[in-house]
Chains A and B, each alone.
Chain A
Amino acid sequence: MIAEIGHFALILALCVAMVQAVVPLMGARRGQASWMAVAEPASALQFLFIAVAFAALTNAYVTSDFSVMNVAQNSHTEKPMLYKVAGVWGNHEGSLLLWITILALFGFAVTLFGRNLPIGLKCRALAVQAMIAVGFLLFILLTSNPFARLEPPPLDGSGLNPMLQDPGLAFHPPFLYLGYVGFSMAFSFAIAALLEGRVDAAWARWVRPWTLAAWVFLTGGIILGSWWAYYTLGWGGWWFWDPVENASFMPWLAGTALLHSAIVVEKRDALKSWTILLAIVAFGFSLLGTFLVRSGVLTSVHAFATDPARGVFILLLLVLAVGGSFMLYAMRAPAMKMGGLFAPLSREGSLLLNNVLLSTGAATVLLGTLYPLIADALNLGKVTVGPPFFNSVFLPLMAPMAAMMAVGPMMAWKRGDLAGVLGRLKFVAAIALGAGLLVWFLQGGSAGPWWTGAGFALAVWLGLGTLVDLAERIGLIDAPAEALGRAARLPRSTWGMVLAHFGVAVFIIGLTASAAWTEERIQTQKIGETVMVGGYGVTLKAVNDVPGPNYMAHRATFEISRNGKVIDVMEPEKRVYRQPPRPITTAAIRSGIIGDLYVVIGDPDPAKDGHVTRLYFNPCIPWLWAGAGLLILGGTISLLDRRHRVGAPTRAHARGRRARA
């Protein structure tokens, strides 16, 4: 019964969304206030219905209602409660329902927080938001109904893929979708602006916080996925340039560019049509990601069960949403008031350079991701574009950007003094060069890859440069006594920028070190045998069978020693889940600032009376997580900036606050 309520709620939501997509738009065109007023209650109602549907499916999972086919296929009574809930979005149908729930939530948020938005812009944006909802609701109802019944119900479900029974992956999709769908806000407002034919600073002030929030979530989602891949896939890697990863990385790149170009729109009233285009592209990439992951056009190491019929539907959505928007853009953007050109050597000039590099980077990732498809379509053979392509194309484009990131924020608006800025950074440059050379010598010169020194120099340049910028802003050198007070008064968005840029520097260190100096030892280890890796002695002590809640684990016990002293015990497992019966490797990781000791147990090797073990020393991996953490923290702090607060675009702080309450 509850499942039917959920299904019915989805149909109602579709009806509401249809009204919301049409009536306010016509009202805005004709200037009829009563028609425009439909948008707000409609968005609330739509959210209500979709939330009911989502709750209904969650209820089916929590109560293990196997008469619902989706639950029977993806859940099991034995599963821990956390994964019963996570099971809701651990499959195609449920994840789409989560997608649309988040979309409706964002739409409702416009109504909730947007009291002081111009009514025309607001109701147009809500109408666009509803159009996306109509597309996805139709997609769910027509091809992917999560509430389909199974008659008679099986006694127990077939279980969730054990790969997904993991905290990292349980929360990876919601964050990712909050990011993907969050870009729909910028998209809807971009389309609304095109329809209105006007983009101004108020528009940018409204779009920026939403983009920033989406970007924070997307960053979190990507890094959770990466972290999960690192500790569960059992080969110590964290990024594979797999199509699915690229699908989430491309919107991130476009979103990062959008984040920066919106600043120029807000502060300098320039780059307007470019920003609109970016807003469309960022959401377009999100839709493209959904399409690539679910249609099966590309081969990926990890993908949803694919179905060409669904692929056709998403492609249709993609063409309508993105193609239509680009068309509208081509028609309307040329007529929009241009922002005027600015000086290349200025804050806005450097932000533009950032945008050019980020978009070019996104384009190369897109090309690399789609190349196998292009080659196949043109009968050039079946190819895979491996990580070497991305490393040798994408990274050289990002390196100058990272270098620029230290300089850009120190440039003044309108007319910057590049020579002056570089002069203030000359000590930083010297230290960075020194650090690079030091690293080069420590690795034994050409014994390691040539780019390690460059990577470290770049990281030190960016990290220290960002700190110098901060020190100057708070007058640490000129007036140290007042520095603390000034630091406290510094806008939160500035703190956010400093933290995020510093995070990138930290990330570069992790990236460089882990790519260059990973140590790997694969061997058959007997009980009692010690293998040295990364300066640690790793001794296999025992291998036991240990039952888990819904799996049986072969658990190995390793004793870790350093300089002859036992310092730790590590216990990696190889689990075989009961339902569905599937083996999973669980690595044991001992994290430190220098790096991670990463231990994996493999199959027994009867010939040599031991077990195959894989031991890694992955240098500076925690720096990656720390860097990403700083990006997220920076974004969040920036979101808390008063000027960024959602719903307070102009002078109306008080009203905005009341609206939020």
Chain B
Amino acid sequence: MKRALYLLPVAIFAAMALLFVKGLTMDPKAIPSVLIDRPVPEMALPPLPGRGEDTGLATRDLKGRVSLVNIYGSWCIACVQEHPYLMEYSKSGIVPIHGIDWRDDPVQGAAWLKKHGDPYDRVGVDPAPGRAAVDFGVTGAPESFIVDKNGIIRYKHIGPISPEVWNKTLLPIIRELQK
């Protein structure tokens, strides 16, 4: 009886420890933690149909130079709004812009680009439920991520890109990372 009393702390603690183990497993890495200042997650997204063999987006494609990764989808209305600007910035050649066609039908995603223009260097398809984008830390579309030369995500912009956002926020960061 008395010995059992002394075992009580171990017993309570064991129950707590089990709870914590459960708690940690309930919190898998896949939850959309925004990976600012973390490396781009491991991914190898297939290309859009009709856009060529090696035009998908993989982790290694984001290393070596500063790049902008833009999340879009053919269903996304605000993406149309930012698209002309992306076309413009893509032509300027300041930074390669890659796309992730998120939670979308690849055929529709490709058609959308034909209609509105294709600013992207590489486009990876990430159909629903959009695992790769979730790993990226995407919470909606459009969103844009600046990735540095080492493949580390440096900045995340939520919402459409406007000239103001580009000139005041994104461009200075890109320029600084390119130095």
Chain A directly contacts chain B within the complex, with at least one CB pair under 8 Å: yes
With A330-B6, A370-B16 as given contacts, are A297 and B24 in contact (CB-CB < 8 Å)?
yes
Closest to A327 in B: B10
Q: Is the CB of B20 within 8 A of A334?
A: no
User: Besides A296-B27, A306-B33, 14 other CB < 8 A contacts?
Assistant: A73-B37, A154-B176, A154-B177, A155-B179, A156-B176, A281-B9, A297-B26, A297-B27, A308-B24, A323-B10, A326-B13, A333-B6, A377-B19, A377-B22
With A151-B150, A308-B27 as given contacts, are A330 and B7 in contact (CB-CB < 8 Å)?
yes
27 contacts between A and B (CB under 8 A): A150-B150, A151-B150, A152-B149, A155-B179, A158-B154, A277-B9, A281-B9, A284-B13, A291-B20, A295-B23, A295-B27, A296-B27, A297-B20, A297-B26, A297-B27, A308-B29, A315-B21, A318-B17, A323-B10, A330-B6, A333-B6, A334-B3, A373-B20, A376-B26, A377-B23, A377-B26, A581-B169
A side interface size, CB within 8 A:
40
Task: Give residues 305-342 of A contacting B (CB, 8 Å).
Answer: 306, 308-309, 311-312, 315, 318-319, 322-323, 326-327, 329-330, 333-334
Question: Counting CB contacts under 8 A, is A374 at the interface?
Answer: yes
Q: Is the CB of B6 within 8 A of A323?
A: no
Main SS at interface, chain A: helix
Q: Is the CB of B9 within 8 A of A315?
A: no
* Complexed CA–CA distance, A154 and B173 (Å): 11
Q: Is the CB of A323 within 8 A of B179?
A: no
Instruction: List chain A residues, Cβ under 8 A from B148.
Output: 154
Question: Counting CB contacts under 8 A, is B76 at the interface?
Answer: no
* Complexed CA–CA distance, A373 and B24 (Å): 10
Q: Is the CB of B19 within 8 A of A155?
A: no
* Complexed CA–CA distance, A598 and B11 (Å): 48
Q: Is the CB of B13 within 8 A of A323?
A: yes
Provide the B1-42 mask, 1 if CB < 8 A to any CB of A, else 0: 011001101100110110111111011110001000100000
Task: Give residues 378-426 of A contacting B (CB, 8 Å).
Answer: none
With A73-B37, A158-B37, A296-B27 as given contacts, are A315 and B10 in contact (CB-CB < 8 Å)?
no
Q: How many A-B residue pairs have CB under 8 A?
A: 79
Q: Is the CB of A308 within 8 A of B150?
A: no
A404 to chain B, nearest CB (A): 25
* Complexed CA–CA distance, A154 and B150 (Å): 11
B165 to chain A, nearest CB (A): 12
Q: Top 5 closest A-B pairs, CB basis?
A: A297-B23, A326-B10, A326-B9, A377-B22, A330-B6
* Complexed CA–CA distance, A311 and B9 (Å): 22
A284 to chain B, nearest CB (A): 8
Instruction: List chain A residues, Cβ under 8 A from B22.
Output: 377
Instruction: List chain A residues, Cβ under 8 A from B154.
Output: 158
Instruction: List chain B residues, Cβ under 8 A from A370.
Output: 16, 19
Instruction: List chain B residues, Cβ under 8 A from A376.
Output: 23, 26
A609 to chain B, nearest CB (A): 25
With A155-B179, A326-B9, A334-B2 as given contacts, are A315 and B27 in contact (CB-CB < 8 Å)?
no
With A155-B176, A158-B37 as given contacts, are A311 and B10 in contact (CB-CB < 8 Å)?
no
Instruction: List chain A residues, Cβ under 8 A from B27.
Output: 295-297, 308, 311
A38 to chain B, nearest CB (A): 31
With A151-B150, A297-B27 as given contacts, are A315 and B6 in contact (CB-CB < 8 Å)?
no
* Complexed CA–CA distance, A158 and B154 (Å): 9
Q: Is the CB of A295 within 8 A of B13?
A: no
Closest to A158 in B: B37
Instruction: List chain B residues, Cβ under 8 A from A306.
Output: 33
Q: Is the CB of A373 within 8 A of B14?
A: no
Main SS at interface, chain B: helix
Task: Give residues 442-485 of A contacting B (CB, 8 Å).
Answer: none
* Complexed CA–CA distance, A330 and B27 (Å): 33
* Complexed CA–CA distance, A315 and B29 (Å): 16
* Complexed CA–CA distance, A73 and B154 (Å): 10
Q: Is the CB of A315 within 8 A of B2?
A: no
Task: Give residues 352-379 of A contacting B (CB, 8 Å).
Answer: 370, 373-374, 376-377
Provide the A269-286 mask, 1 if CB < 8 A to any CB of B, else 0: 000010001001100100
Q: Is the CB of B20 within 8 A of A322?
A: no
* Complexed CA–CA distance, A247 and B9 (Å): 19
Instruction: List chain B residues, Cβ under 8 A from A154.
Output: 148, 176-177
* Complexed CA–CA distance, A330 and B14 (Å): 13
Q: Is the CB of B177 within 8 A of A315?
A: no
Q: Is the CB of A323 within 8 A of B20?
A: no
* Complexed CA–CA distance, A376 and B23 (Å): 8
Closest to B9 in A: A326
* Complexed CA–CA distance, A158 and B81 (Å): 29
Q: Is the CB of A322 within 8 A of B13?
A: yes
B23 to chain A, nearest CB (A): 4
Closest to A273 in B: B6
* Complexed CA–CA distance, A48 and B179 (Å): 39
Instruction: List chain B residues, Cβ under 8 A from A155.
Output: 176, 179
* Complexed CA–CA distance, A108 and B23 (Å): 36
**Contact residue among A284, A298, A334, A374 (Cβ-Cβ distance under 8 Å from B6):** A334
Instruction: List chain A residues, Cβ under 8 A from B20.
Output: 291, 295, 297, 315, 318, 373
Closest to A363 in B: B12
B2 to chain A, nearest CB (A): 6
B8 to chain A, nearest CB (A): 8
A273 to chain B, nearest CB (A): 8
Closest to B24 in A: A311
Instruction: List chain A residues, Cβ under 8 A from B3.
Output: 330, 334
Closest to A372 in B: B23
Closest to B176 in A: A155
* Complexed CA–CA distance, A150 and B21 (Å): 33
Instruction: List chain B residues, Cβ under 8 A from A296.
Output: 27
* Complexed CA–CA distance, A330 and B177 (Å): 58
With A154-B176, A326-B10, A329-B9 as given contacts, are A373 and B23 in contact (CB-CB < 8 Å)?
yes
Closest to A374 in B: B19
Closest to B20 in A: A315
A377 to chain B, nearest CB (A): 4
* Complexed CA–CA distance, A316 and B7 (Å): 20
Provide the A112-150 mask, 1 if CB < 8 A to any CB of B, else 0: 000000000000000000000000000000000000001
Instruction: List chain B residues, Cβ under 8 A from A284.
Output: 13
Q: Is the CB of B37 within 8 A of A323?
A: no
* Complexed CA–CA distance, A146 and B29 (Å): 22
Instruction: List chain A residues, Cβ under 8 A from B6.
Output: 273, 329-330, 333-334
Instruction: List chain A residues, Cβ under 8 A from B10.
Output: 323, 326-327, 329-330
Most A CB within 10 A of own CB, among B3, B20, B26: B20
Provide the A490-513 mask, 1 if CB < 8 A to any CB of B, else 0: 000000000000000000000000
**Contact residue among A150, A312, A326, A334 (Cβ-Cβ distance under 8 Å from B24):** A312
B72 to chain A, nearest CB (A): 24
* Complexed CA–CA distance, A277 and B12 (Å): 13
* Complexed CA–CA distance, A298 and B29 (Å): 15
